[in-house]
Structure 1
């Protein structure tokens, strides 16, 4: 009882920053649980209707390629935009509306360009990365590409609206990320047979469209900013944001090669390999999203707010505390998932065309993937601190270095371990990133590197000039 009283007193006297992060993490975790349940049900329906065959191979392969370019930019915007929108809270509403409208216009243009590039380059892409796929699978990949190419516009638009919500410490966007999975579930179950890619296309496109429209409505309600798409770059925040995006984009482009890289190696192993890795990664994503998204999305606006007050020591202490907490939680989650993973996979997938032998294969790959969990959790928390400080050059350098290790790991480990080699190399990548990040946190100065400080001052000066002109 005395120990319980001590812990209760420590909770009551905890710093408000920790309480804000804890509340945000709890909300995100709850939303992730609901959203990922929709994803799990979707995977159950796909496994029931399709099993492990060339349709699922084509879907996994094409989705990885179609979402690669928009996903790369979306990952960058998710890190860069939240601190920008946090700072915009103190600007006039008309300026916020102008900047938000310009972001919507830029997202639409980028999405259209990405779709056009994919359409034009698809013959070369499928010839280079999918040469070992069967002719039937390649034909399905082309059908899926035609149907899924427009989704890049909806993905980028949703990213802009989600950043506006996250800057206001509203995390309902995490819940709505399960909407596309719910639509795919409905379309797959409504299909009379499991021999067509059309239900997968319709569910994905309609789900992403509904997600973008809903997020826009919620963002407008949360920040009170009513914007319309603009094809211009008149806002003064573009200069500083472009420097950040340009720097971080280098590392993110490199990291987003991981999924196509794994798809390439799985295609070389033959039909069924992409499906096995895809099912294992879908289950692993349920676990990773619960912890990592909760920690990362809850901490980024808090770190940005603390650093805006100039308290770098407090930001570093808070980041170190939550980084180590995320690492410990990751170890516990990995141990529990190692024990119950095969049972969970059997409950999710083992029915219809998905056999007991498929469960054994997917469970083995899933268990190897658990090695990355603690490092992934902690890396995302520490990465939010670097992003809040504007240390994008540091983040880019870490990404390039660790991706090099991932490539070496795939070439070295997959010939010996098969599909599991891709999971082991990913774990080595995140472990290296974690140790480098902790070393930088202990040895580096406060507030980011000199370039980041200079860029931030330049952006602040430009913003001040813009305010005076307004």
Structure 2
């Protein structure tokens, strides 16, 4: 949010926020949210295991995954990046006004009254249009499907997420701005539980449509998870003063069209990489889309954990920008990039070293056979090369949009990356199949990450690009060494894949940390202690 629209807080007590509670709160919030994220990720693996076991990697799972594109896009746009980037700064401004004795009424309630009804109506209409246009959507996303009827049915079932994810994202942004992170982190537990329950209960009757119905049920459970906290914290909180004057600009310029458009288009362009992948994979043999999906879901787990750091500190960056503390925002962003990069690079090393063992342990049962394991593991190793790029794009977009001012540069950077993905995918798919698609993804997202990092200093937060690059280069070399060590050692361990994977969970971190220490990478030596120290002391 811009400095000109922020009002000074007086002595009137505002709601507890990360800054009011102190820096140690950020460490506890990050730890708690990370814990719930791990549980949700494990349930996500169980969900994918259920789909793999019951439907394998063939026509049915491909149809479901084409329909899965809808909640994937909706989650990114409405729960995480899009809605959060818009509403966390807006609610932060409203909270600042709520704490000011000079502002009558409750700006937070006024903001909700001004924005939520219109958002719900717009999303409901969009969901209805998607249900009606499902055949066209499937035709655009996966024109190579021989029998698109099943994908159309699944798409109509998942279309409800346009509304339910929007409501979930709205509630999540409001709670995060209030310093509440556990509820938003826990919604995916309810979501995955709904999908798993419906799939196991009804697959014999509905086939893969049961999984699509589970998406709809799980998305409703997400809303129910957040509703009590939203009502209690946001709507029922008593505020001194008289009602806000009619016509007051409660939404502030933060939710104007000039700010909204760049954020929405950026998120859509980022998620469009998935569209490109499935478009290209639909022309390959049955199972190609499934191999890509399973590889991405597992490889992205380190990225999800690393992004929790940026999710928790996003309100801190937004308020630092609002108060004019550019130096504080710069330090916060640089720390976040270094820590998030270190976490995801350790995960990257594990994937590079033990992808076949990971896939075999997680998925090889039922209709998912050894050939599927080999194909998925190969894709996963290639896809892992772009994990740092994905993490940096997710982390860098937050400071760009924290100011509340219109900025089109992230969209331009992401657009360039998307062009690279599409061009490289078209060139590589014919020769390398799904591996070529994964390589194009890694190349495109890495291009976007580099452009966003280079442009950040002159457009949002004056980060030291060389210092950030150096803080990431050292753990990247450590990850390469650890991944190579794991790949060499994996065939040596006899017995089941689980035993080899357990050995890798010891070997890869040890090699990673020893190499990082030898290279002088402080952020990669003792990450847990370093995270606690930096959250606690703000250094």
Match of 1:91 in 2: 97
Distance in 2 (alpha carbons) for counterparts of 1:270 and 1:345: 20
Match of 1:39 in 2: 44
Match of 1:8 in 2: none
Q: 1:131 to 1:407 in 2, by over 3 A?
A: closer
Distance in 2 (alpha carbons) for counterparts of 1:129 and 1:83: 34
Q: 1:271 to 1:444 in 2, by over 3 A?
A: same
Higher mean displacement: 154-163 or 326-335 = 326-335
Match of 1:341 in 2: 355
Match of 2:376 in 1: 362
**Cα offset for 1:432?**
1.9
Confirm whether residue 259 of structure 1 aligns to residue 269 of structure 2: no
Distance in 2 (alpha carbons) for counterparts of 1:234 and 1:140: 49
Contact residue 96 and residue 225 of structure 1 kept, 8 A: no
Map 1:36-435 → 2, pairs under 5 A: 36-65=41-70, 68=73, 71-74=76-79, 75-92=81-98, 94-135=106-147, 138-172=148-182, 173-191=184-202, 193=204, 196-223=207-234, 225=236, 235-242=249-256, 243-292=258-307, 294-390=308-404, 392-435=407-450
**Cα offset for 1:204?**
1.4
**Cα offset for 1:158?**
0.3
Distance in 1 (alpha carbons) for counterparts of 2:217 and 2:330: 42
Contact residue 402 and residue 429 of structure 1 kept, 8 A: yes
How far does the alpha carbon of each residue in 1:229-255 deviate from its partner, in whole angstroms, 9 at most, with x for none?
xxx997432543122112222322322
Q: 1:22 to 1:369 in 2, by over 3 A?
A: farther
Distance in 2 (alpha carbons) for counterparts of 1:443 and 1:98: 35
Distance in 2 (alpha carbons) for counterparts of 1:130 and 1:434: 27
Report SS of the residue matched to 1:90. helix
RMSD: 2.6
Q: Provide the aligned length of Structure 1 versus Structure 2.
A: 426
Higher mean displacement: 101-110 or 36-45 = 101-110
Contact residue 132 and residue 270 of structure 1 kept, 8 A: no
Higher mean displacement: 343-352 or 408-417 = 408-417
Contact residue 47 and residue 349 of structure 1 kept, 8 A: yes
Contact residue 179 and residue 211 of structure 1 kept, 8 A: yes
**Cα offset for 1:165?**
1.2
Higher mean displacement: 251-260 or 200-209 = 251-260
Q: Which runs of 5+ in 2 are unaligned?
A: 1-20, 99-104, 239-245, 464-539
Match of 1:25 in 2: 30
Distance in 2 (alpha carbons) for counterparts of 1:447 and 1:374: 21
Match of 1:451 in 2: none
Contact residue 203 and residue 210 of structure 2 kept, 8 A: no
TM-score (structure 2 length as normaliser): 0.73
TM-score (structure 1 length as normaliser): 0.83
**Cα offset for 1:222?**
3.5
Contact residue 52 and residue 353 of structure 1 kept, 8 A: yes
Q: 1:378 to 1:234 in 2, by over 3 A?
A: same
Contact residue 288 and residue 434 of structure 2 kept, 8 A: yes
Distance in 2 (alpha carbons) for counterparts of 1:432 and 1:17: 37
**Cα offset for 1:154?**
0.4
Which is bigger in relative contact order (C-alpha 8 A, separation at least 6)? 1
Report SS of the residue matched to 2:97. coil
How far does the alpha carbon of each residue in 1:52-106 deviate from its partner, in whole angstroms, 9 at most, with x for none?
1211111100121465467435532221111111121133463311321333212
Map 1:7-26 → 2, pairs under 5 A: 19=24, 21-26=26-31
Report SS of the residue matched to 1:91. helix
Match of 1:465 in 2: none
Q: 1:40 to 1:251 in 2, by over 3 A?
A: same
Contact residue 187 and residue 200 of structure 1 kept, 8 A: yes
How far does the alpha carbon of each residue in 1:197-250 deviate from its partner, in whole angstroms, 9 at most, with x for none?
3321332111111111221222233445479xxxx9974325431221122223
Distance in 1 (alpha carbons) for counterparts of 2:203 and 2:461: 60
Distance in 2 (alpha carbons) for counterparts of 1:371 and 1:126: 29
**Cα offset for 1:308?**
2.4
Distance in 1 (alpha carbons) for counterparts of 2:462 and 2:160: 40
Distance in 1 (alpha carbons) for counterparts of 2:371 and 2:310: 37
How far does the alpha carbon of each residue in 1:408-444 deviate from its partner, in whole angstroms, 9 at most, with x for none?
1211222232112222222222222222233224455
Distance in 2 (alpha carbons) for counterparts of 1:210 and 1:442: 41
Report SS of the residue matched to 1:334. helix
**Cα offset for 1:45?**
1.4
Q: 1:258 to 1:270 in 2, by over 3 A?
A: same
Higher mean displacement: 67-76 or 297-306 = 67-76
Distance in 2 (alpha carbons) for counterparts of 1:194 and 1:289: 34
